[in-house]
Amino acid sequence: QKEVEQNSGPLSVPEGAIASLNCTYSDRVSQSFFWYRQYSGKSPELIMSIYSNGDKEDGRFTAQLNKASQYVSLLIRDSQPSDSATYLCAVPGGGNKLTFGTGTQLKVEL
Amino acid sequence: KAGVTQTPRYLIKTRGQQVTLSCSPISGHRSVSWYQQTPGQGLQFLFEYFSETQRNKGNFPGRFSGRQFSNSRSEMNVSTLELGDSALYLCASSLGSGGQQNTIYFGEGSWLTVV
């Protein structure tokens, strides 16, 4: 079983809509979770981190964590074409090792 | 403040050759990790170095190796290149040894093509 799973997409949403990206993980002891954004041909960029159950908001981004269900999600409000990218969910695996999901490609259409 | 710097950015090698990639972490960062990214396998962890010691190693063959120098700069080497080694190799640096508040920053990567 893969440690971190994401739907590869593409997920298409119209401009101004809410984009919902989901991630499940297998290791019940995981304590922190990260969302990275990666534009085509570029390196991953950290956009959100979450450590506690519940919601964490940062601008148009909201991360949601449910440890009981081993589920973490990322909501992007008022989606813009510039949000079109691949979104990677990552879980720490000791030290500074990160285990990534395969990523969800988001397309925001005009 | 300069980010994570990787060199070279692009390179083409022939099967059987070896390659060395270099990474300079953000100033003051002591941890350097390497990742391989391919369309089929996604982002996979290769290894991590902290204060010149390898702390973590991913599930890659022994052809993949690395080291870290006293100034925290790191190199990774791939010997006897195979076509499947064609990938984006990403270096990441962080300040501390891990933990919730330890942000990991990625470099722009080195694109390796094996022909």
Contact list in A for residue B48 (CB cut-off 8 A) is: 95-97
- Give the residue carrying structure tokens 């919902």: A20
Asked if B102 lies within 8 A of A31 by C-beta distance, the reply is no
* Facing residue for A92 by CB, picked from B98, B105, B108: B98
Return the SS3 of B1: coil
CB atoms within 10 A of CB A65: 20
**DSSP structural state of residue B58:** -
The alpha helices in chain A, defined as continuous H runs, are none
Q: Name which of B26, B36, B43, B54 to mutate to probe chain A: the one with the most chain A Cβ atoms within 10 A of its Cβ.
A: B43
Tokens at A10, concatenated: 């593409």
Tokens of A73: 């999600």
CA proximity to B88, closest of B3, B4, B9:
B9
Residue B101 predicted with pLDDT over 70: no
Residue B37 structure tokens: 């990214």
Q: A44–B58: do the CB atoms touch at under 8 Å?
A: no
Among the residue ranges A51-55, A76-80, B1-5, B76-80, the one predicted with the least confidence is: B1-5
Whether B111 contacts B11, CB under 8 Å: yes
Q: Do A103 and B42 touch (CB under 8 A)?
A: yes
For residue B103, the model assigns a pLDDT of 84
